[in-house]
C-alpha cells in the first residue's frame, strides 16, 4: 500500500518526522525514505530498504545529521522515494501513495519527447519520479498536481515538500486518505491519523477527494476544493488501517467492532470461545464476542519479542515458515473445544488452511470461521498490495473453477448472497480450508458498519462496482 507523514514547524521537525513516519510501518515492507529541508543545508534525504529491518533501526543512527523545520517521510511498498527534483518552480521533494495503471503509456509519452528517467529499479521506471515530472509540467504546484489527476489512471495521493511549505494533495477520488493535524507552532499531515496523538497533534481536518492544501507552520490554505465524487477504499477499515486511526471521521477499530457485531446477528452456532485471527481479525472478534456473549480467548498467541510484524521474505517457503513460527498454539484453550474465529478476509486462503490444519492437529473439535467482509471476487486495480491479489489467486476464483471446470466464469452471480451459486462457492471454500462452518459478511452490513453512503465507498473488491 504505502503511507506518508509530513510536518512543518517553528522548531525542528526531525523528531516528529521520524516517529510520525514510523507509525506508517504497517503499510509497506519494501523501502522507506525521509527528506528534511533547512535553508542552511537544503534538502537532506535518505532512503533505506525495509526488507531486512525496521524503519526505526534503519534511520535512528543518522537522525543527528538532519536539521530543519519541515520534512516528509514515506513507507513505500514499491519504489524508492521521496524523489527530489529541480524544476522551473524550484526544488521540491515528493512522496506518493499511488498505483499508476497506465505507467507504461506515460513512460512512452515522455520517451517520445526525449525525456529521461533516472530512478530505474526492478526493471521499471519509478512511479514517484513520473509523478514529479507530471507536477513539473504545471505552471504552479496546484496545476501540476491537477496534471497528475488528469493523466494518472489509478490512484495518487501526494506530499510535496517545497522550500517554504508542504503541499498535500489527496487522490482524485479519495481512495486513500490524508489528514491534517495541528499543535502549538506546527502542523502535521499523515495517511494514518494514529500518528498524531503521541506527537501531541490534534486532528484538524480530513482532506476531501482531489483537495489540495498548502501547509506552513502558521496555517493551512486550501488551493483546490474537494470533489463531490468519492471512492474511499472500504478495505481500509476492514484490513489495511491501524485500529486507532480515523478516515472520513470513522474510527477503524470501532468499525471492526460493528463488523463483528453484524456477523454475530442471527448466528446461533454453539461455541466455547470466540477468537480473532491476529492481528486484523482481533477488532472484529471483540464485536462478535460482545454481541453474542461468548468469551473471547486466545487459542494462539503471536511471539511478539521476535515477530512483532511480518517481513516479506523473498521465497514462499520462507514466508510460510515465518507465518507458522510466529504463532504459538495454546493447547489448554484449543483441545476438545469449539471455536468461532474472526478474520478480516480470505485472499488465497493458503495460510488460513495451514492454521486450521494446525488447530485440528492440536485437538480442536470445531473451527467456525466468520469473515468481516464479503468474498473477494474482483482484484484491486487501484492500490498496490504486498498481499497477492491477482484474480486467479483468489480463493473465490479457485472455488468457482473447481465448480465450473473453467476459469472463464462471470463471477457476478457468485457475488450475490441471494443466489444459490454464492452458497455453492462458499461451501467449496469451506471444504478446501477444512472448516466446520464458514460465513462471510454481507456487503450491506459492511457498508452499515462503516457508516458512509455506499456510493462514497469503493467496494470494488466485492462487487466490481468502481472505475478509474
CB of 98 to ligand SF4, least distance (A): 12
Q: Which is nearer to ligand SF4, 220 or 447 (CB)?
A: 447
Cell of 336: 476438545
Number of Cβ within 10 Å of residue 468's Cβ equals 13
Cell of 86: 529541480
Return the range that interacts with ligand SF4 (CB under 6 A); candidates 27-35, 37-45, 177-185, 460-468.
460-468
Torsion angles phi and psi, residue 342, rounded to 5: -110, 130
CB of 19 to ligand SF4, least distance (A): 27
Distance CA 27, CA 296 (A): 27
458 is a contact residue toward ligand SF4 (CB under 6 A): yes
User: 396: which strand partners?
Assistant: none
User: Which of 235, 247, 257, 341 is in the footprint of ligand SF4 by CB under 6 A?
Assistant: 235
CB of 381 to ligand SF4, least distance (A): 7
460 is a contact residue toward ligand SF4 (CB under 6 A): yes
Distance CA 305, CA 204 (A): 35
Which of 350, 372, 359, 364 minimizes the C-alpha distance to 439?
A: 372
Radius of gyration for the chain, computed over Cα atoms and rounded to the nearest angstrom: 23
CB of 464 to ligand SF4, least distance (A): 9
214 is a contact residue toward ligand SF4 (CB under 6 A): no
Alpha-helix runs per DSSP H in 326-459: 331-334, 350-361, 395-404, 420-433, 443-450
CB of 139 to ligand SF4, least distance (A): 31
Residue 207 CB burial class (10 angstroms; 0-12, 13-18, ≥19): buried
380 is a contact residue toward ligand SF4 (CB under 6 A): yes
Q: Which is nearer to ligand SF4, 18 or 239 (CB)?
A: 239
User: Which of 13, 35, 234, 342 is in the footprint of ligand SF4 by CB under 6 A?
Assistant: 234
Q: What is the DSSP letter of 267?
A: -
Return the range that interacts with ligand SF4 (CB under 6 A); candidates 10-18, 246-254, 337-345, 458-466.
458-466
CB of 461 to ligand SF4, least distance (A): 3
Report how many residues bind ligand SF4 under the rule CB under 6 A. Answer: 12
CB of 460 to ligand SF4, least distance (A): 4
Peptide bond into 279 cis (omega under 30): yes
Return the range that interacts with ligand SF4 (CB under 6 A); candidates 12-20, 81-89, 229-237, 254-262.
229-237
Q: Which is nearer to ligand SF4, 81 or 466 (CB)?
A: 466
Number of Cβ within 10 Å of residue 223's Cβ equals 17
461 is a contact residue toward ligand SF4 (CB under 6 A): yes
81 is a contact residue toward ligand SF4 (CB under 6 A): no
233 is a contact residue toward ligand SF4 (CB under 6 A): yes
Which of 392, 407, 411, 406 minimizes the C-alpha distance to 460?
A: 411
Cβ–Cβ < 8 Å for 28, 50: yes
Distance CA 188, CA 216 (A): 10
Site for ligand SF4 in 166-205 (CB under 6 A): 175
Q: Give the residues lining the site for ligand SF4 (CB under 6 A).
A: 175, 233-235, 380, 382-383, 458-461, 466
Amino acid at each position: 500500500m504505502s503511507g506518508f507523514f509530513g510536518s512543518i514547524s517553528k522548531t525542528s521537525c526531525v523528531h516528529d518526522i521520524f516517529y510520525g513516519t514510523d507509525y506508517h510501518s504497517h503499510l509497506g515492507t519494501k523501502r522507506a525514505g525521509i527528506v528534511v529541508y533547512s535553508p542552511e543545508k537544503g534538502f537532506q534525504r535518505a532512503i533505506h530498504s525495509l526488507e531486512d529491518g525496521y524503519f526505526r533501526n534503519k534511520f535512528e543512527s543518522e537522525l543527528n545529521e538532519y536539521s530543519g523545520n519541515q520534512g516528509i517521510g514515506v513507507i513505500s511498498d514499491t519504489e524508492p522515494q521521496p524523489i527530489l527534483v529541480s524544476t522551473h518552480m524550484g526544488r521540491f521533494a515528493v512522496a506518493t501513495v499511488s498505483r499508476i495503471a497506465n505507467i507504461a503509456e506515460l513512460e512512452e509519452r515522455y520517451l517520445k519527447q526525449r525525456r529521461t528517467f533516472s530512478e530505474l529499479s526492478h526493471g521499471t521506471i519509478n512511479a514517484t519520479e513520473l509523478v514529479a515530472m507530471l507536477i513539473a509540467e504545471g505552471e504552479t504546484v496546484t496545476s501540476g498536481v491537477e496534471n497528475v489527476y488528469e493523466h494518472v489512471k489509478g490512484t495518487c495521493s501526494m506530499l510535496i515538500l517545497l522550500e517554504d511549505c508542504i503541499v498535500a494533495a489527496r487522490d482524485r477520488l479519495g481512495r486513500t486518505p490524508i489528514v491534517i493535524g495541528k499543535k502549538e507552532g506546527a502542523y502535521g499531515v499523515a495517511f494514518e491519523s494514529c500518528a498524531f496523538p503521541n506527537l501531541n497533534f490534534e486532528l484538524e481536518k480530513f482532506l476531501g477527494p482531489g483537495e489540495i492544501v498548502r501547509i506552513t507552520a502558521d496555517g493551512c490554505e486550501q488551493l483546490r476544493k474537494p470533489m463531490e465524487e468519492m471512492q474511499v477504499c472500504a478495505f481500509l477499515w476492514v484490513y489495511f488501517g491501524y485500529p486507532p486511526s480515523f478516515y472520513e471521521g470513522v474510527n477503524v477499530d470501532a468499525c471492526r467492532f460493528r463488523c463483528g457485531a453484524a456477523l454475530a446477528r442471527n448466528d446461533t452456532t454453539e461455541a466455547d470461545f470466540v477468537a480473532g485471527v491476529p492481528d486484523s481479525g482481533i477488532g472484529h472478534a471483540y464485536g462478535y464476542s460482545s454481541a453474542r456473549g461468548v468469551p473471547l480467548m486466545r487459542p494462539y498467541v503471536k511471539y511478539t519479542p521476535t515477530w512483532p510484524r511480518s517481513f516479506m521474505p523473498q521465497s514462499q517457503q520462507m514466508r510460510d515458515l515465518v507465518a507458522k513460527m510466529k504463532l504459538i498454539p495454546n493447547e489448554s484453550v484449543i483441545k476438545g473445544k469449539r471455536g468461532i474465529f474472526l478474520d478480516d478476509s480470505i485472499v488465497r486462503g493458503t495460510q488460513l488452511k495451514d492454521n486450521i490444519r494446525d488447530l485440528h492437529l492440536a485437538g480442536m473439535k470445531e473451527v467456525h470461521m466468520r469473515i468481516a467482509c464479503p468474498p473477494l471476487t474482483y482484484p484491486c486495480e487501484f492500490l498496490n498490495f504486498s498481499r497477492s491479489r491477482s484474480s486467479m489467486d483468489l480463493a473465490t476464483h479457485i472455488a468457482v473453477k473447481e465448480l465450473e471446470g473453467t476459469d472463464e466464469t462471470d463471477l457476478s452471480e457468485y457475488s450475490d448472497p441471494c443466489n444459490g451459486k454464492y452458497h455453492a462457492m462458499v461451501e467449496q471454500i469451506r471444504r478446501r480450508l477444512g472448516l466446520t462452518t464458514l460465513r462471510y459478511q454481507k456487503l450491506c452490513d459492511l457498508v452499515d458498519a462503516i457508516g458512509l453512503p455506499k456510493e462514497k465507498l469503493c467496494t470494488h473488491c466485492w462487487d466490481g462496482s468502481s472505475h478509474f
